[in-house]
Amino acid sequence: MAAQSTTTTSTRTTTTTTPTTTTPTTATPTTAYRARRRGLAVAALAGALALAGCSAAGAEPAAGGDASGATGAELTPVTLMLNWTPNAHHAGFYYAQEHGLYEEAGLDVEILEPGDGIGAAAAVAEGRAEFGISQAESLLPARAAGMDLAAVATLLPVNDSVLMGVRGSGFTADPGSLAGLTYGGYGGALETEIMSALTSCGGGDPDDVEFIEIGNVDYLAGLEQGKFDVTWVFGGWDALRAQSEADDVVVLPMAEHEECIPNWYTPVIVGNSANLAADPDTARAFLDATSRGYDEVVRDPAAGAAALLAAAPELDADLVERAVAYYAPRFTAQGRFGEMEDAVWQRFTEFLVGADMLDDASPVEGAWTNEYLPAA
């Protein structure tokens, strides 16, 4: 188990968990956000599950992580752990923090990036963070493994995942074109199932798709060099960037093929189910202020981009501005911010069960709630 050291600042008390047998490391912001789904491969969850009851590297506040000038005694401390480095998905959090919306709600919110060895889901399940950013494809297996987690809001009501390739590779916006191509990804089971379902739905043979692992690379360069023919990214980040750099980019939005594959919620805000039940007022205050932040980003994307860049100035300002403008209408595309639907959760769960990625549908019971969102 890990030893814990506690350091007190003028605004917050930050607890850093340090392994007793290894030299601790901390997460640091990177200069480029690779908007792959951190939980894309359910296999990636294994690391988080292994850490659910043992030590892990500490996490440090994200850039701009504590803007409050109040003392801890005046405000309720709340920790939010991101799923990645700050990016366009997180604009509403940073807007709420920069403009004092959390303070108005009586909260001192600290935003952390994930540590080198622990993700948001494990941190929330262990009680190290009140809230975290995860995704349905990680949350459901985590619950099946015993993690006490529940999604309390979705950042995007419609999955923004796209397949991306370049003209001349054989890849088109037709799912059947995937047959005979090489897919570059993370090697996750969900990738295989989604690619196979899309290919079959388009009339192709999924056995004709070759899968290779590429990790975090320059996707556009890899595509143009023929190292792989297609990859999976978010439409509002890597695809957006690639389309600004080259005129031969082809994208296949997954949301346009729900007759083949389900929609699912990614990213989502998760909380610890027991803690939510024990302190619903804090959850409601956090989500009320967060919802206000995202509503303001929808109203004024430039202000949302400015708040994100103030917190993470190392990001490409032009890309951030375009990405936040891209996502702004999508945050509330189906109504109030954060709201989730049972039908979406049920269909995605059935997909995972059918793909043998879950033993049964029981993990979806209690996996999500709209209870803590502000009234419509």
Rounded CA separation 316/141 (Å): 34
Indicate whether 165 and 205 sit together in one domain.
yes
Which tokens belong to 51? 């850490």
Amino acid found at 75: L
Domain-located, residue 167? yes
For residue 163, give the nearest of 263, 41, 36 by alpha carbon: 36
Say what the pTM is: 0.83
CATH code, domain carrying 95: 3.40.190.10
* 148 and 174 belong to one structural domain: no
297 shares a domain with 233: no
pLDDT digits (tens, 9 = 90+) for 54-96: 333 344 455 544 444 444 459 999 999 999 999 999 999 999 9
- Weakly modelled stretches of the chain, pLDDT under 70: 1-73
Residues 289, 147, single domain; the answer is yes
What the block records as the tokens of 363 is 């993990």
Cα distances (angstroms) measured from residue 341 to each of 37, 135, 349:
21, 15, 13
Give yes or no: residues 232 and 279 share one domain.
no
Structural domain count, the chain: 2
Q: Could you tell me if 143 and 274 lie in one domain?
A: yes
The per-residue pLDDT for 63 is 53
pLDDT tens digits along 182-211: 999 999 999 999 999 999 999 999 999 999
Same domain, 335 and 196: no
Instruction: Judge if 172 and 206 occupy the same domain.
Output: yes
Residue 246 falls within a domain, yes or no?
Answer: yes
The boundaries of the domain holding residue 345 are 76-157+264-364
